Structure 1
Amino acid sequence: MARRLLGPENAASVLVSQNEENAQNSQQQNSENTRLQVPTPQIRSRPSSRGEGNEHGSTQEKFFQPRFVQVPEDKMTVEEGRFCRIDFKVSGLPAPDLVWYLNGRLIHPDDFHKMIVSEKGFYSLIFEVVRGSDAGTYECVASNRAGEASFTVQLDVTAKEHQKAPSFIFKPQSKRVYEGDTARLECQISAIPTPRIYWKRNNEMLQYNADRISLFYDNPGKICLLIHNVNKKDAGWYTVSAVNEAGVVTCHCRLDVATHTYKPVPTPKQLKVRPTFSKYLAFNSKGLDVKPAFSPEGEFERLAAQSGLYESDEL
C-alpha cells in the first residue's frame, strides 16, 4: 500500500519509520512488563555475630547442640506421699525441646506430674504426691536441630511409715514441795514415731543442767523431769509438749515451793526438891537415931529419891 501510494523510494522510508516505531513500542512494553514484574524472594542467611562470611559475602546461622549445665544426683530416695522435684538447667540454640521417660515410656503431664521452667532458665519435673508407681529410672532428653543430650536419675520410693499423733497416757500432776527437796514431774506419751519433748516454765524454754535439772526417758514413752534442791525460783507453771510428723500435744501443771516452818520445843520446867523428914524419931542403943522411923511417907520419899522423883512445891 505504501509503495503504491508513495513510490518505491518513499515506501522504503515509511517502512523504516514504522519499524522504528514498532521497536520503540516493543521496548516500552518490555520496560513496563519489567517494572510490573514481582521479584522472586531469596533466602538469605542471618549475619553471624562473629562476622564470618562465606564465599558469596553472606554469613550462615549457627546452631548449638543441647548441653546440660546442671543436673541432679544420679539417685534419689523419697518417702511415699511426699513432695519431690527434679531440677536441672540446659543450654542450646535454638532452645531445645524436653521430654521425660520413665523406664523407657514417655511421661505426660498430669495432676501428679508437672513440668515447669523458671525465669532463671531452670527446668523442673515436679511430683505433687510421690506414689509407689513413680519408682524407676527417669531419663530427660533435650533435642534441637543441632542434636540432642540426655541424663538419667534413679528414683527410689520408700513405703510410708505408719504415723500416730502424740497423746498422753497419763499427764503430769501439779505438786507442792518444800525448799531443798526434789521435785518429780512425770508423764507418759504414746506416739509413732518417737516424739520430741519440750519443757517450759512460765512460757520460757527450760534449760537442763547436770547439777539440778535433768530429763529422763523410759522405753514405754515415760518421761520424767527431775529438779533437785528446789528453790523459790523453780515455782511456776510447767508445760510439756510432744511433737512428731503426725501432730503435737501439750499439757500444763503447777509446781509450788513452800518453806519449812520450825516451831520451838518448850523446855520442861525444873522442879525444886525439898527434903522431907518424918515427925517420928527412933531411939536405939547409941542414942537418938537421925534416921526416921518407918512410915509410909518416909518409905515413899526413899523410893522416890531412888527412882528420881521429886516433890513439887506446886503439888
Structure 2
Amino acid sequence: MLKYLTGTAIIAGLLAVGAAGAMAQQKYTFALVPKNMNNPFFDQARDGCKKAEAESNGAFECMYIGPGEHGGGEEQVQIVQDLVAKKVDGIAVSPSNAAAMAVALQAAKEAGIPVLTWDSDMLPENKDLRVAYVGTKNYDIGVNLAKIVQTLKPKGGTICIQSGGAAAANHNERMQGIRDTLSGKQSAASPGDALKGENGWTEADGCPLYTDDDFPRSVQQLEDTLGKLADLDAFVPTGGFPQFIPDAYRATVSKYKDRLDSGKLALVVADTLPVQMELMKEGLSKGQVGQRPFEMGYKTMMFLKDMKDGKGNPTDPTYTGLDVCTPETADTCIGK
C-alpha cells in the first residue's frame, strides 16, 4: 500500500511539474508595430506597451518592431508577414498603407493570430481582418484642428494642409474632418472634398502636402510654403511631423513669428507631445490637438492578453480620447 501511495505521489509530482512547465511555456509574444520607429509619437506607444508587459508579471513580451524610418508601407507589410511566419501570439499594427496591409492581415487571420489596429485603421472593406481598432477617432482630430483655425480666422482664407501619406487612412480621415468642418458640408468619404471657396476657405495651389513621415521633408515643405505664400492664412499638419525636429521647426517658424503674433497666420498642429507643447508655449504654434499614444500601446497589449485568455474581444472601436490645447490652456489641457 505504501509503495502504491509513493508511486502515486511521484506520478502526481511529475504531472505537477509538467503542468508548471506548460504554464511557463505559455508566455505570449505580442508585437506592437508602428509606422516607423524614429518617431517620438510612437516612442510613447512603445512605453505604454512596455508598461503593460511589466504589469503582466511575465505573462507576455511586448515586441516593439517596425520600419526604422519613413512610413511608406512596404517594409511594414513585410515585417507583419514575418511576424505571422514566426507565429507570434498577437499583433497590434498602425498601418502606413491600409490597402497594402490587407495582404499581411489576411495571412494572420488564416494563421489564427488575433490582430488589433491602433492609431490608424484598415479600410472599411478590410476591417474584418482585425478584431478592433484602438486609438483616436481620427476624424475628430481634423474637426478640432479646424475649430481652432475657425476661431483664429473666422472669415476664412487660404489654407494648406500637410498630411502623412496619401494611403494612410488615419491622416485621410483627419483631412476629411478639417475640410468638412471648414466647408460646413459632410463629404462622402475621406480625405474629403477639396476646399474651393466654401465658407470663405480655399486650399492653396500645390496643397495638400504629403510628408510620408519624412520629418526633414516636412520642415522643408513648411519653410517653402511660408516663404512662397506670404498671404497664407492657415497651415495645418495632420500630424506632428515638422515639430518632431524641434530645432529645425523653431528655426523655420521663428522667421515668420510676426505673422503668428499678428493673427495673420493660423499655424495649428496635431499631437501634443511635450516638445510640441514647449513650442506652442514659445509662441510657435497657435494650437495643438493631441492623442494618447501611451494609452494605445498599453491597451492593445492588455486586450491581446484578454483575448488569448478567453476573456472576449474589446469594443470596436475603442477610442482613447483627445486633448485640445491652445496657448491659453497649455497648462491644463492635457488629460490625466
TM band (smaller chain)? under 0.3
Higher relative contact order (CA 8 A, sep 6+): 2
Larger-Rg structure: 1
Give the structure with the higher percent strand.
1
Give the structure with the higher percent helix.
2
Structure 1 length-normalised TM: 0.23
